[in-house]
Amino acid sequence: MKVSIIKIGGNLIEDETVLDQVLTNFAAIEGAKILVHGGGKMATQLSEKLGVKTQMVDGRRITDRETLNIITMVYGGLVNKTIVAKLQANNCNALGLSGADLNTIKSIKRPIKTHDFGFVGDVTEVNSEMFSLLLNNNITPVCCAISHDKNGQLFNTNADTIASEIAVSLANDFEVELYYCFEKKGVLRSIEDENSVITDINTEIYQALVKEHIIADGMLPKLHNCFNALEKKVSKVFIGSVAMLADDNQLKTTITL
């Protein structure tokens, strides 16, 4: 059985009209599917309203106790339940999950190296049996970017990594395709040119693009997650806009080893 795993980024969640189109396209995907989402910008906006300072290091959020509370409210509450409700309106029977729900995603606190990122988790285990049970019963999991350690502690966790790790955990039992959807049409050669999509990236091309500083910043960990998935039996990985979910011929970036 084929399973499509789609991760959507914050910019697609911000605009209600865009989100509606994303979820319409997602609901129309035939067969088993999983949606993974973040919501970082909305968490930042709520933090500002509540007077909680957002701290970033190398583009990554420092998650103190107050920030974790806000992230849990936004990711696991407002964003997750809004998405689930909209999917139900599209006749897609969805179930919203954090990593703690049904013990789906376990993690450990990120080790302190140069910085202490606070309550940030690195994924250690995905409950593939539970995901399989849901998928085989025509239930669509909607996973937010929160994991847990099974000792009562929640963690802020990278949504790209969660999508990749879920894909890897299911790859032995399903034909898994992984899609990273964001506001661009794919990985761009020039950030100023929306149509300068690099249609195919393998490890050799990736290394060259990194040296040229074409791939940098937040795209680096995203590509790392793509290659991690492919190395562990995920069949196909794509990066692009939501349009690629509805049209196989849509311009996008295909990642291969």
40 is in an annotated binding site: yes
39 is in an annotated binding site: yes
Residue 153 burial (C-beta neighbours within 10 Å; 0-12, 13-18, 19+): middle
77 is in an annotated binding site: no
- Residues 157 and 99: beta-carbon distance below 8 Å: yes
Report the greatest alpha carbon distance in the chain.
48
152 is in an annotated binding site: no
* Residue 96 φ/ψ, nearest 5 degrees: -80, 135
If we measure between CA atoms, which residue out of 96, 143, 99, 104 comes closest to residue 121? 99
Residues 6+ apart with CB under 8 A from 192: none
Angle subtended at Cα 89 by Cα 84 and Cα 91, rounded to the nearest 5 degrees: 95
- Residues 230 and 201: beta-carbon distance below 8 Å: no
Annotated binding site: 39-40, 61, 156
Annotated binding site for substrate: 39-40, 61, 156
